[in-house]
Structure formats: structure tokens, C-alpha cells
């Protein structure tokens, strides 16, 4: 499995996650044009599962829908031994796949296709572009980024889907934009990621929907002046790696129990305690876990592995005004 390099998605001001391979950053630049109302005809979304509120946008193709449904079925099917990590039980509130499914459902609301232009889906016009044409995006949580933009600009922004518009007033709106690599990871031979790797990406992106600890007055001031909030756990923003293969890149967790830590927790539990996983699934999970662990500050990684780190805080408290 090729290593996955994570870059950030700055939305005028913020470093938000974008899982990419071999370079390139996404940038959304607000042009401050009037809202685009009434909402455009976006096509009708499909509910991924009658039990879930997650919708598959009309922009997704058949293969992407097939893989996403497979991944959510996989998450739901997982069974773990009684020795399951207390961290895992706290994070997913369960020792079974149903807990992972609830975790995803609470933090992912809408999944849109890689060919969807941001300009067509929000009530402002944005310019998207890669710093490098070598970038291959796997998935990006753009909902949290746009939510931070509403605070920075002190104005409402709506998301267009299902032939209607929804206010972006909470990071847990969970708007996930797939990249082409989600369904075709290796363009040379069309080889896709397997379901373990894809599901770990969904867990990672879902964590970015949590504003853990909320925003203080100084965070509002920072955002209004085009700076990052001091509380990097709101959105679990990536930070610059200080060592290892990703040194100097915005590809690491800045605080404890960030998006990479949750990805590690999910994958590591498959390796250690999954009752109904195959050897191939465990091998992929081990590669994902090792890659995620390399993106976590060394002291936090040691404490996670030893069980001495605080239990993860899975709350989200965005401002109400």
C-alpha cells in the first residue's frame, strides 16, 4: 500500500484536512459575491442506509456509491473481543460496529463527488485549485472549513444539496467531498483502496467535524483577522510535523485525540481485537495504523500506546451565536 500524504485545506484562513497523495494543497478563496439563491437544481440525494441520516449526493457515480455502501456495511459488521481498548469504547461508545456507525452518522451528513465544483454548492463563489497537479485527493471534510469561514466573515453560508439549501451553522453538518482516489487509488491499473483503508479515511474525516472545547473570545478575534483559532481541537486542525517522513508538512495532529489518533485507534483495534476480520484486512489496518501513528506527536503516541493518555473527549460545542 502506498503511503498517504496528508495536506491541509486552507479556506481563506484555516488548515483543514485533505487526504492527498504526493503533494498539493486545496484552497478556497471567497470572492464575496451575493448569495446564489434560489438554490440550483442539484439532483436528488440518496440515503445511504435507512438507519442513517447520511446522504449520497447526486454527483456521486455508481462506483463511488458502491464503495461507500460497502464501507458503511463493513463498519457496521465489525465485532471486537472483550479485550477491546477502553479508548476505543470511549471514542465509539461500543465494542461493536454499530458504535462506529453511530460515530460516522453523527459527524458525516453529506458526501459529494470529486467532480462537484464548490462554486455550485455554496451561497458564495470560491476558487479551488491545486498547488501541484500531482495531488490526488482521497477525501476532504469541507463542512468544517466552510463553517469556520462563516465565523471569520460573520455571515451565513448555505450548502446546496437535494434541490434545497441548508445553513452551514455547525461543523457537524459533515460535508465530505470525495476525491477520485477514493474509488481509483492507482490510476495506472485502476486498483482501488480496500474497504479497511477507505473506512479509516471516513473515521479520520468525521473527527474533523468535532469542535472539541468550543471557541473562546480570542478564537473569534483570530478568525476575524484571518488567523487560525488558538483551540486547534475545534475542527482538530492539522499542524506542521516536526519530525519523521512528514517533517515540515501540515500533516500531523496538533493536539491529543485528533483525526490521525482516531484513525489509528480504529485501525489498531482491527489489528489487535477484531473477531471477524481476515488476515488481509488486518494487514491493511496495520499499515494504516503505522502511518497514522507517525503523524501524532511522539509523546502523545507513547502515552496512547501505553494507555496512560487521557480518555478521548468526543464532544463538540460550536458557538450558538
Residue 226 — pLDDT band, cuts 50, 70, 90? confident
Which of 87, 82, 163, 168 lies closest to 124, judged by CA?
168
CA distance 303 to 289: 15
Which of 42, 40, 6, 47 lies closest to 25, judged by CA?
6
Task: State the pTM of this model.
Answer: 0.86
Residue 131 — pLDDT band, cuts 50, 70, 90? very low
Using a 10 angstrom Cβ sphere, with 0-12 exposed, 13-18 middle and 19 or more buried, the burial of residue 309 is middle
Q: Which pLDDT does position 190 carry in this prediction?
A: 56
Q: Is pLDDT of 287 > 60?
A: yes
State the Cα angle at 112 between 106 and 113, rounded to 5°.
Answer: 145
Which of 235, 209, 178 lies closest to 13, judged by CA?
235
- Region 268-292: mean pLDDT is 96
Domains of the chain by residue range = 5-306
pLDDT digits (tens, 9 = 90+) for 5-38: 333 333 333 333 333 222 222 223 333 344 455 5
Amino acid at each position: 500500500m502506498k503511503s498517504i500524504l496528508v495536506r491541509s485545506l486552507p479556506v481563506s484562513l484555516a488548515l483543514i484536512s485533505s487526504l492527498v497523495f504526493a503533494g498539493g494543497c486545496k484552497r478556497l478563496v471567497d470572492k464575496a459575491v451575493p448569495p446564489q439563491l434560489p438554490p440550483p437544481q442539484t439532483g436528488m440525494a440518496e440515503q445511504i442506509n435507512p438507519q442513517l441520516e447520511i446522504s449520497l449526493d447526486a454527483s456521486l457515480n455508481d462506483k463511488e456509491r458502491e464503495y461507500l455502501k460497502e464501507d458503511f456495511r463493513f463498519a457496521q459488521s465489525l465485532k471486537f473481543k472483550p479485550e477491546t481498548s477502553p479508548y476505543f469504547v470511549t471514542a465509539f461508545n461500543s465494542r461493536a460496529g454499530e458504535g462506529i456507525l453511530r460515530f460516522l452518522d453523527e459527524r458525516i451528513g453529506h458526501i459529494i463527488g470529486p467532480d462537484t465544483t464548490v462554486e455550485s454548492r455554496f451561497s458564495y463563489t470560491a476558487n479551488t485549485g491545486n498547488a501541484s497537479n500531482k495531488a490526488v485527493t482521497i477525501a476532504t471534510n469541507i463542512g468544517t472549513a466552510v463553517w469556520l469561514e462563516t465565523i471569520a466573515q460573520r455571515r451565513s453560508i448555505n450548502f446546496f444539496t437535494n434541490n434545497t439549501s441548508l445553513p452551514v451553522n455547525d461543523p457537524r453538518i459533515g460535508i465530505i467531498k470525495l476525491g477520485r482516489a477514493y474509488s481509483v487509488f492507482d490510476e495506472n491499473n485502476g486498483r482501488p483502496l480496500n474497504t479497511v483503508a477507505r473506512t479509516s479515511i471516513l473515521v479520520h474525516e468525521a473527527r474533523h467535524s468535532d469542535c472539541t472545547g468550543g471557541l473562546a473570545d480570542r478564537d473569534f478575534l483570530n478568525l476575524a483577522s484571518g488567523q487560525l483559532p488558538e483551540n486547534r481541537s475545534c475542527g482538530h486542525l492539522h499542524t506542521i510535523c516536526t519530525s519523521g517522513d512528514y517533517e515540515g508538512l501540515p500533516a500531523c495532529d496538533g493536539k491529543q485525540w485528533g483525526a490521525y489518533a482516531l484513525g489509528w485507534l480504529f485501525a489498531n483495534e482491527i489489528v489487535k481485537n477484531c473477531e471477524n476480520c481476515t488476515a488481509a484486512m488486518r494487514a491493511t489496518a496495520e499499515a494504516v495504523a503505522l502511518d497514522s501513528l507517525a503523524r501524532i506527536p511522539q509523546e502523545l503516541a507513547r502515552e496512547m500506546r501505553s494507555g496512560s493518555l487521557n480518555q478521548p473527549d468526543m464532544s463538540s460545542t460550536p458557538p450558538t451565536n
